[in-house]
């Protein structure tokens, strides 16, 4: 039995579907039984529970040969960092109590730093907590910048005619589609071919600057000259609060982008066939982002 947390999320759903296609038994954890129903129809066992409840997670992890851990970035939380720590404490306790031997842990490029990277600090701390569990084989997947982050730009893109963001315009960074993370995680969960504590970065198909990203987006939505605009941190934070994000969450996201611009959220591995994944930004924008943008 392989247990997948965040099974209705982007990477978790793909990991679950991939594992089921391989013939694996999967226990899918989520907050909403209705959202888990499509996975149950494919053969998964549903488990509804609060990931911040160590006793509930211990029961959910019981009998697991491997577990996929996703630390939720719940932006509705008034104190996101406190929520991250509660969940990672719960995960660590449950993994230890259920005597799980293999864990694939979704982390992020930049998680080697204990501060100044916003929500990624929570991933750093989760890595450390798992590393302290005796006898655990844990693979930390440090993934690149999600292509799905573009969805946050739909509203301002429509209102301003620009693609705004906090990152510098001309610095090329690795972008990845979350479906590729889920598929990779499933492969390693099924193989259980890692030991001790290890790290694997996932860089996506290639490095792309925000300016090039804007050009790709613009070409797909009928705005071939779409400009990218780096928004000053103070303005960006205030804008996110006006959009409804809690103040602490907005501050964390600004800290993350400032950290990225300072070079803290950068790969430690050279790009290779091992950390390169197949989905191009052009394909993602054409197949996923553009239809969503044009439908709103």
Q: List pLDDT tens digits, range 250-269.
A: 999 999 999 999 999 999 99
Residues 14 and 103 in one domain: yes
- Tens of pLDDT, residue by residue over 136-184, are 999 999 999 999 999 989 988 998 999 999 999 999 999 999 999 999 9
- Find all residues with CB under 8 Å of 109, minimum gap 6, and list them: 142, 143, 144, 145, 174, 201, 265, 266, 267, 268
Of 185, 202, 219, which marks where a domain is finished?
A: 202
In a domain, 190, yes or no: yes
Residues 197 and 55 in one domain: yes
pLDDT (0 to 100) of residue 167: 93
In a domain, 57, yes or no: yes
Q: What is the pTM of this model?
A: 0.95
The total number of structural domains in the chain stands at: 2
Residues 254 and 188 in one domain: no
pLDDT (0 to 100) of residue 142: 98
Residues 241 and 187 in one domain: no
In a domain, 160, yes or no: no
Residues 135 and 236 in one domain: no
Interatomic CA distance for residues 13 and 9, integer angstroms: 6
In a domain, 221, yes or no: yes
Question: In Å, how far from its chain's centre is CA 30?
Answer: 16
Contact 279, 177 (CB under 8 A): yes
pLDDT (0 to 100) of residue 296: 66
In a domain, 168, yes or no: no
pLDDT (0 to 100) of residue 182: 98
Residues 74 and 186 in one domain: yes
- Tens of pLDDT, residue by residue over 230-246, are 999 989 888 888 888 89
In a domain, 162, yes or no: no
Residues 260 and 119 in one domain: no
In a domain, 46, yes or no: yes
pLDDT (0 to 100) of residue 75: 80
- Tens of pLDDT, residue by residue over 86-104, are 999 999 999 999 999 999 9
Residues 55 and 137 in one domain: yes
The percent of residues above 70 in pLDDT, for the chain, comes to 100
pLDDT (0 to 100) of residue 240: 86
pLDDT (0 to 100) of residue 77: 86
The percent of residues above 90 in pLDDT, for the chain, comes to 90
Is the pLDDT score of 55 beyond 70?
Answer: yes
Mean pLDDT, the chain, rounded, equals 95
Domain range enclosing 220: 207-295
Q: Where are the alpha helices (DSSP H) in 221-263?
A: 233-242, 247-261
In a domain, 171, yes or no: no
pLDDT (0 to 100) of residue 293: 94
- Find all residues with CB under 8 Å of 271, minimum gap 6, and list them: 174, 203, 206, 207
Residues 72 and 24 in one domain: yes
* Pairing label, strands 137-143, 66-69: unpaired
Q: What is the DSSP string of 154-169?
A: HHHHHHHSSEEESS-S
pLDDT (0 to 100) of residue 125: 98
The CATH number linked to 17 is 3.40.50.720
Residues 19 and 99 in one domain: yes
pLDDT (0 to 100) of residue 228: 96
Residues 64 and 191 in one domain: yes
Residue 292 CB: number of other CB atoms within 10 A?
A: 11
Residues 224 and 135 in one domain: no
Contact 2, 21 (CB under 8 A): no
């Amino acid at each position: 039995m392989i247990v997948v947390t965040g099974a209705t999320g982007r990477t978790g759903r793909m990991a679950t579907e991939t594992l089921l296609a391989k013939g694996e038994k999967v226990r899918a954890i989520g907050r909403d039984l209705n959202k888990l129903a499509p996975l149950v129809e494919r053969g998964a066992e549903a488990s509804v529970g609060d990931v911040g409840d160590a006793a509930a997670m211990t029961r959910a992890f019981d009998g697991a040969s491997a577990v996929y851990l996703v630390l939720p970035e719940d932006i509705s939380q008034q104190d996101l960092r406190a929520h991250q720590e509660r969940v990672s404490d719960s995960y660590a306790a449950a993994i230890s109590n259920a005597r799980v031997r293999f864990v694939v842990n979704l982390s992020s490029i930049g998680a080697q730093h204990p501060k100044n990277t916003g929500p990624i600090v929570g991933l750093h701390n989760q890595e450390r907590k798992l590393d302290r569990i005796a006898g655990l084989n844990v693979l930390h997947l440090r993934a690149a910048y999600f292509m799905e982050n573009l969805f946050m730009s739909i509203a301002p893109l429509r209102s301003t005619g620009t693609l705004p963001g906090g990152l510098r315009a001309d610095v090329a960074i690795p972008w990845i589609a979350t479906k590729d993370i889920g598929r990779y995680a499933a492969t390693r969960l099924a193989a259980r071919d890692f030991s001790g504590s290890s790290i694997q970065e996932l860089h996506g198909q290639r490095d792309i600057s925000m300016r090039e990203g804007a050009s790709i987006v613009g070409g797909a939505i009928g705005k071939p000259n779409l400009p990218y605009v780096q928004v000053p941190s103070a303005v960006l934070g205030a804008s996110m609060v006006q959009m409804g994000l809690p103040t602490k969450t907005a501050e964390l996201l600004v800290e993350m982008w400032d950290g990225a611009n300072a070079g803290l959220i950068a790969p430690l591995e050279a790009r290779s066939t091992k950390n390169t994944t197949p989905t191009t930004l052009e394909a993602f924008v054409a197949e996923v982002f553009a239809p969503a943008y044009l439908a709103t």
